[in-house]
Structure 1
């Protein structure tokens, strides 16, 4: 199933540190080759070592988005939310149809091409690989 490309924000007032980051499901027992159709597209500011920059996020929360992509389901648009203890989560619509998902140690993770991160989802924690990091 081909999905249309996520269109990045066209906002020149955002700091240059903002990036579009694509995370795709990495290999695991059920998907030994990974599964690119299970993905997240994250819009977030990154610092000099490619970590999410909480200070820039604080001033531009409304621009920090996430798109949850799953085969056979419509894309879910949400926000990147900073929580207690430096945690990060993906918050979707307020109707409660899709539960929040949490980045596992996202505050410590570097979002560089080829790196791996984990996301806690309703069915457990899953590995994702950073497949693109593009300036807005």
Structure 2
């Protein structure tokens, strides 16, 4: 199994304070991908402890967590005992992680925000 490091930066989100995007806000995700850039669900099931996320922004300390899944629902989980900090990912199982693709993450305030995939490298 090989893992990939995926860097996503905040894209343009009209109607929010991030209407122009923000390259200084985003996520670094480590997860297994298939050859066509989708999350490799079988590899994830076997190696979920290695699937991490790091949220970064200039006005807050970086937060470390895990990629998690319940049923078909994928989310970033920062505290195993507190579901209120979970950040759901819209249709993650269908997203292709390749340069220029977009992923929607619901932030801690319940807002769906769009992030652009800026880097994908095997680790």
TM-score normalised by L of structure 1: 0.82
Other-structure match for 2:98: 112
Taking only aligned residues, the RMSD between alpha carbons, in angstroms, comes to 1.7
Q: Distance in 2 between matches of 1:98 and 1:83?
A: 15
Q: Paired residue for 2:52, among 65, 69, 73?
A: 65
TM-score normalised by L of structure 2: 0.90
SS of alignment partner, residue 9 of structure 2: strand
Other-structure match for 2:37: 50
Deviations 1:80-107 (A, max 9, x none): 01221x2211000246497100110001
Give the number of aligned pairs: 120
Structure 1 stretches of 4+ with a deviation exceeding 3 A read 94-98
Q: Which runs of 5+ in 1 are unaligned?
A: 1-14
Q: Which runs of 5+ in 2 are unaligned?
A: none
Is 1:37 the counterpart of 2:24? The answer is yes
Distance 1:51 1:97, change over 3 A: closer
